[in-house]
Structure 1
Amino acid sequence: MESSDLTWKTFGRITVWIGEYERSILGCLAIMMIALGLLVLLDNQNPNCGRYIATKNNPKQRLIDNRLAAILTYPPAFLIPLICIYTSKAATYINVAVVMLMISHYLQRTFIYGILIRGNSKIPLHVLSFSLTFCTLNGYMVGRYHTEYAVYDANWLTDPRFIIGVSMFFIGMFINIHSDHILRNLRKPGETGYKIPRGGMFEYVSGANYFGEVVEWTGFSVACWTPHSLCFAIFTASYIGFIKAFSHHRWYLEKFEDYPKSRKAIIPFII
């Protein structure tokens, strides 16, 4: 046997070992995301940002501007999947299509949502660190798994699961963007304080923007049809869909005597 053959076989074995090891890492990240979502639900604390910071009574808490935090937080969630697409030798156009859904969301969150944030709201620096770490690990998990390990049939783009999932994704994205637009325009120039949001899905739920994001990532998990995308959707529903939405709902009810009693927290007509 020639040395070159031995080299290639050795390299091939190493590549296979690394591939299996990486798959295990991606699986562990998915399990950790489920566990984190459950811990968040069990803890059931108000999110430590925006209107809730004043209740923490911690003058030594280091804060960062919310606009800057958004611009710093989200880039890894689209840059890492882009790198995964570029470096993958296994990704088909179908793999690229499902990953581009995630990329489109975080591009919007960085360059439109982040830049258009109004007001002087701040978040604690440790919340930024957590969010940045999450976006980095989630970008790696979703991007890498769906470009290297997820295998789709050639007709997946016409599969009902993909069509339904993509439809849900863009409906959720529209609700999310429209709800953010309503929130940004609650105050007229020079006004301060909080107001009751009205219009769009806010007529049905207090967390209309969160509802849109839950629909979005639920649709993403249906379109991808993988355990990793499902774990991400479950975490989103746990933290954004329930903890943040329910905290906002309770706060609105306590803050405004005339707050519409028919509104639910996160799911229209249900909860």
Structure 2
Amino acid sequence: MHYVNRAIIYPLRMNRSSQPVPLVVILSAVAFTALNGYLQCFYLGHIEKLNPLTISASGVHNLQVLVGISIFFIGMGINIYSDGVLRNLRSQNKDTNATTRRYYIPKGVFFTLISCPNFAGEILEWLGFAIASNFSLPSVAFVCYTASNLVPRGIAHHEWYKNKFEEYPSERKWAVIPFIA
């Protein structure tokens, strides 16, 4: 579901004035996603023999799967909502001139404490998947990879916002994870 949103729905909803994405970035994302998907499925289907979307006979595992799936969907909701806020900044501020690139401070419920709730949501998604898949090695590795990729990017975005806007909200002290980073 995440990749359907990220690969199909998200690009279709992007503003026409968005900067183009280089082909090498697209091909790298496709290759990485294919490899990650293969590793996740191979491990769960052939090594662990666990389907994370099927509830097992163990009551404890049932709860773990349900908690993991719930966290995944909460993260996905945060990610989609926050991407929408960011995507619509220019249209909400009546900036329709594609020749002028103006930037705005994002506002919304998830932007209260952190600068990049879209990154936080994505990390939550994969943490939920790791929980639901019984902390399989590939799922835990992917959470670590995702966090190690998105937290530094979020910190860089947070610093850019603070440097770009004198009026950046002072209560927005963290980049991706409230009270931590």
Question: TM-score surpassing 0.5?
Answer: yes
Alignment partner, residue 159 of structure 1: 62
Deviates further, 149-158 or 183-192: 149-158
Q: Extract unaligned runs of 5+ from structure 1.
A: 1-103
Question: In structure 2, what residue type is equivalent to 1:185?
Answer: N
Larger Rg: 1
Q: Alpha-carbon deviation of 1:156?
A: 5.4
SS at match of 1:206: coil
Matches of 2:58 and 2:147, distance apart in 1: 26
Q: How does 1:179-258 map to 2 (within 5 A)?
A: 179-188=82-91, 189=94, 190-191=96-97, 192-225=101-134, 226-240=136-150, 242-258=151-167
Q: Deviations over 1:179-238 (max 9, x none)?
A: 011111111251541110000211111111000000110011000011111101110011
SS in 2 for 1:122: coil
- Identity rate of aligned residues, in percent? 39
Choose which of 115, 136, 142 in structure 1 pairs with 2:40. Answer: 142
Indicate conservation of the 8 Å contact 1:141/1:228, yes or no: yes
Aligned partner (choices 166, 176, 180) of residue 266 of structure 1: 176
CA contact (8 A) 1:178 1:200 kept: no
Aligned length: 167
SS in 1 for 2:18: coil
Q: C-alpha distance in 1, partners of 2:122/2:31?
A: 19
Structure with greater helix share of residues: 1
2:149 is aligned with what amino acid? Answer: Y
The TM-score with structure 2 as length reference comes to: 0.84
- Alpha-carbon deviations, 1:1-36, whole Å to 9, x = none? xxxxxxxxxxxxxxxxxxxxxxxxxxxxxxxxxxxx
SS of the residue aligned with 1:193? coil
- Structure 1's consecutive aligned runs of 4 or more residues displaced over 3 angstroms after TM superposition are 123-126
**Cα RMSD over matched residues?**
1.9
Deviation at 1:259, TM superposition (A): 0.7
**What are the superposed Cα offsets for residues 57-91 of structure 1, whole Å, 9 maximum, x if unpaired?**
xxxxxxxxxxxxxxxxxxxxxxxxxxxxxxxxxxx
Alignment correspondent of 1:24 = none
Shift of 1:146: 1.6
Q: Counterpart of 1:151 in 2: which secondary structure?
A: coil
Runs (5+) with no aligned partner, structure 2:
none
